[in-house]
Structure 1
Amino acid sequence: MNVSEIPRPERARQAPPVDVPVLTWWASIYPHAFVAPNPFYRLPLPGAFGEGAWSFAPVDHPDGIDDPDEVHEAFEARAKASAHTLSWPEARARAAPEAPPELSDRAAWLLAIQGHAPARGPELLALQHRLEAWMQAERWFLPTDGRLPPAGEPAIGRFLEALGAHEVLAISEFDEVSTSIPVSALRPGAPALRLTRRLPDGREQGRPVDRLHLPDPGVLLAWGFDCAEALIGMTDAALSRARPDAFFEARPLGPDAFCDVFNPPDFLRPAR
């Protein structure tokens, strides 16, 4: 792919494809790139304190609602309002401190997007079981996959506010919906962020947020399919105002990094 043939405005609001290095895709736009894993999180049970005061399943928070979609929305709202979050290194330190960081990242990523991966070897599978046992014991949820995580919205909102933003462009997958929203919509008291797409028959369909774009001073946060993390592109001006690692887990990416950060080449091909 010849990146120079793709219009700069298009690349500025799109995550790179899998076959182009991140910083090559964003060349002349975002000289700084980060990967920001969606956090592990857990929720306090209403009125409960101390040991055992954490929920572990959405059905723990039905709020008297019978409709499954509404239960899910209520759960997301509570995750945004009151979740305690944990970074991937902190999760590894609690679940398997001796595990190699790269293997731990891969185990968490695969659990979030796919589940168990027995074909990838016994070491990784054993680590996945240890992560699950730790989450079950301490009532942590896996990172949200494929979208802006409700539990992470408040931290992302604080990051955007530190950049001086009052509004941000929210974009759904495939650019079905794009609309400017106030950064205050990311604060804990607001509903979990979803976009609305109007179907040809007039019905409305909720769509998750795939990207957040701030043209000035120049920032893109992009989630996507088969991910439990955001890619972040930033201009020099943006980075001088606020570093993402001051607000949430964010790791810098080098010139050879591709968008599938936790997926080494050929990793998901069938084992021979």
Structure 2
Amino acid sequence: MKSIAGVDFKSKHPLCRLKVGGLQSLSLIDYPGKPACVIFTQGCNFRCGYCYNVELVLPEKFGELIPVHEILRFLERRVGLIEGVVITGGEPTIQVGLDSFISEVKKMGYLVKLDTNGSMSKVLKRLIDEGAVDYVAMDIKAPLVKYDEVVGVKVDKPSLLESIRLIMTSGVEYEFRTTVVKEQLSKEDILQIVELIKGAKKYYLQKFIPGKTLDPNFSNRSTYSDEEFKQILSSIKDYFVQCSLR
């Protein structure tokens, strides 16, 4: 069977190897200012305890994949109805077929927003250099000294720093964001994160919402109160063009 991309989906073409675990047909919040769909890739190289996308992270929880040709046909039908495609995860930059997939999406005239943990700076550089992404959102999980602890694996810190540099100098729209679990990140930790991204256009603190989490021990952990967040934001907002709570 041939796809709209002219690819035999029984072949070993890279496009066929993109693992899509979910699709949200319409979102008005994931791509700022744009109606978009959201594509969830399956698989992640981090193990953040507070993550709620368990079925996209843990192999033993993986569900059935959505064939790439079905995603492309869906996107072809949505031309003119939505403006953007958000690619999130999981972690999209570990996907073999990501470049090929984005190429097909761009041919349809869509804007592409990439959500990433920033661990794969070489992949990110390639995508930026090729003009493949129009918006990048990078999660800054913790100050560098606590990164391994928070994400549950050993992290290449220079690659993270390079991703931050690439994003801030890329010319594409971008944002940084941090999910805040009170027991994990102190106010001082947040100030140390700010030191990594001073001068960025947008930085958002995200409230941790208790519930289903990758590590069940996080299911009843807490975040800061609105008043505490207000105080934190007051102390950091001047370092950014835009800084707020989500």
- The normalised TM-score by structure 1 is 0.24
Q: Which structure has more RCO (C-alpha within 8 Å, separation ≥ 6)? A: 1
From the CA coordinates, give the structure whose radius of gyration is larger.
Answer: 1
- The normalised TM-score by structure 2 is 0.26
